[in-house]
Structure 1
Amino acid sequence: MPAEVPDSAAERFYQSQRTARLGDASITQKKMFGTTALCVGGKVFMFPWRGTLVVKIPAARVEELIAAGHAERFDPGHGRTSATWAAVFADAGEQWPHLAEQARSFVAG
């Protein structure tokens, strides 16, 4: 299954963020897992994945999203997950703008 789901809500949100954020000199992009990711300081903080928005955020926030049923731990397909990567479902799309900024700040340090 491809990483990107064409015309998904996550892909549309990501593309809007990509367009808005690439004007910032600290934001770059790179390919990973068959999709394009946004980076700050060379480190990935957000990308679309199979209809979800994947963000790198504090572990406690990942747990909150999972407990609320809004996300799952991101698994790129090899069975290993990380405490700080969340795949946030489309039904939590109203939280995506805040999570995108939280991810950028978290990764930027």
Structure 2
Amino acid sequence: MSRSTNRPSSPEHSGEDAGRDLYDELTDDLLYDPAIGRATMMGYPCVRLAGVFLASYDERNGLVVKLPGERVAELIRSGNGEPFAPAGRTFREWVAIPVPDRELWTELLREAVDFARGSL
């Protein structure tokens, strides 16, 4: 069901639905690791590694991943990412990737898993 009567309900007409579909597909691929599971973060779907949040998805920001601060800055400088600032507070180790891009999202999810493993 569409959240708004002004939005098309079919995925082929909505970038938001296409982004969510891609997020679900790519994060499904991570679930081979028993330490990785689904949860919610700030009301949005996310994946965690042994309880450590590593990625989320929301309609406004697209894919949101936790990475080292230097990598976040690099993605923002390159134009591939945007600062993640819910409620106006920027999270230094989180970056939003609003445009669905299978290759980039796959790479960043792998990086997020590696970063989460390093924090355990």
1:93 deviates by 4.6
Q: Establish whether residue 81 from structure 1 lines up as the match of residue 90 from structure 2.
A: yes
Instruction: Tell whether the 8 Å contact from 1:48 to 1:54 is kept in structure 2 after alignment.
Output: yes
- Between the aligned residues of both structures, percent identity stands at 32
Structure 1 residues 17 and 94, CA gap change in structure 2 (3 angstroms): closer
Please tell me the root mean square deviation across aligned C-alpha atoms, in Å.
2.0
More helix by percentage: 2
Larger deviation, residues 50-59 vs 88-97: 88-97
**TM-score normalised to structure 1 length:** 0.83
- Matched pairs, number: 104
Q: 2:40 aligns with which of 28, 31, 35?
A: 31
Instruction: Tell whether the 8 Å contact from 2:18 to 2:100 is kept in structure 1 after alignment.
Output: no
Gaps in structure 1 of 5+ consecutive residues: none
Instruction: Tell whether the 8 Å contact from 1:70 to 1:92 is kept in structure 2 after alignment.
Output: no
Task: Tell me the SS of whatever aligns to 1:22.
Answer: helix
The 1-side partners of 2:16 and 2:49 are apart by 25
Q: 1:15 aligns with which of 24, 28, 35?
A: 24
1:6 deviates by 4.9
Structure 1 residues 91 and 32, CA gap change in structure 2 (3 angstroms): closer
Segments of 4+ in structure 1 off by > 6 A? none
Q: Establish whether residue 56 from structure 1 lines up as the match of residue 57 from structure 2.
A: no
Tell me which of the two structures has the higher relative contact order, counting C-alpha pairs closer than 8 angstroms and 6 or more residues apart.
1
**TM-score normalised to structure 2 length:** 0.76
Instruction: Tell whether the 8 Å contact from 1:55 to 1:87 is kept in structure 2 after alignment.
Output: yes
